[in-house]
A = this chain, B = another copy of it.
């Protein structure tokens, strides 16, 4: 590959001059610009970003850490982030941590070694261990779809507890009295705990009787988790008429399972999902769900790190409003 030296030689100037025209830095005549540009064209020269990075201390790369999530959700999130990041001439390294601490530490090490300019950490708990590592490296960090109560890290998220509260209340407003929840991993601090909490709060604030067994949880937030949780729920509580699901994937799995069990949605059982992934539009029936503006959130998070990189010290955390997208999976009871 051609280097700046080759260009300099071909254009009969010093490398400093080449560098100047490359960066539009003034200090050269129109003639030399021509000569240099021709040489560049001729040689197909592309400046070496690694060398540039070494001296500028900027790699124009930002790192993204995601745990195992619904692939559609991740896609949307990433595409929002990517759009902004690329707009600014940077690129993105995505690391799937699978919520695994050891793996996360490894990736973190990798990102630091790669000298990324910033890090976005999504949808998981920011352990002290992670934070320290990032903190001491001085790399800007923002949290997406998660937050940290004691650590001073800006975040972009939705109020999960409230969203879940509303989802449940939506069922209540539609006349449902026997409402079950299919939760993912109930210990998940992000998508588990708060959503369960919101569910319980809604029931209790409407004085609806609640039993622990009306929340069925399984390992994760996927189709099968939804399917199995639903089956469990229906054997324990055959009189349930509405389900609040902790993710769209779970809701979809549940709908499929209901179909197999001969249960009609929404005629016999209503369901509301969570995430509003694109496929909700074409499920049968189309899925009523809580929408998190994931793509938008990704964009904002990306802008935040970028701003921090450009020197805007502290960013304000933002919590995005959620929204109930009404489709046809919830029946009005009367």
Report which A residues bind B (CB closer than 8 A). Answer: 1, 44, 46-51, 53-54, 59, 61, 71-72, 74-76, 78-79, 82, 86, 89, 91-96, 109-110, 112-115, 133, 136-138, 223, 227, 252-253, 255-256, 259, 278-279, 281-286
Q: Which of these, B44, B50, B112, B281, contacts A59 with CB under 8 Å?
A: B50
Per DSSP, chain A at the interface is: helix
Most buried by B among A54, A59, A255, A285: A54
Q: Is there contact, CB below 8 Å, between B282 and A252?
A: yes
Residues from chain B with Cβ under 8 Å of A253 in the complex: 282
Q: Is there contact, CB below 8 Å, between B96 and A278?
A: no
Count of this chain's copies in the oligomeric assembly: 2
- Other A-B contacts than A50-B59, A92-B93, 14 sampled, CB-CB below 8 A, are A1-B137, A46-B109, A46-B137, A48-B113, A49-B115, A51-B54, A75-B75, A89-B110, A93-B93, A94-B94, A223-B278, A256-B282, A256-B284, A284-B284
Which of chain B's residues has its CB closest to A1's CB? B137
Residues from chain B with Cβ under 8 Å of A138 in the complex: 1
Docked pose: A65 CA to B44 CA in angstroms: 21
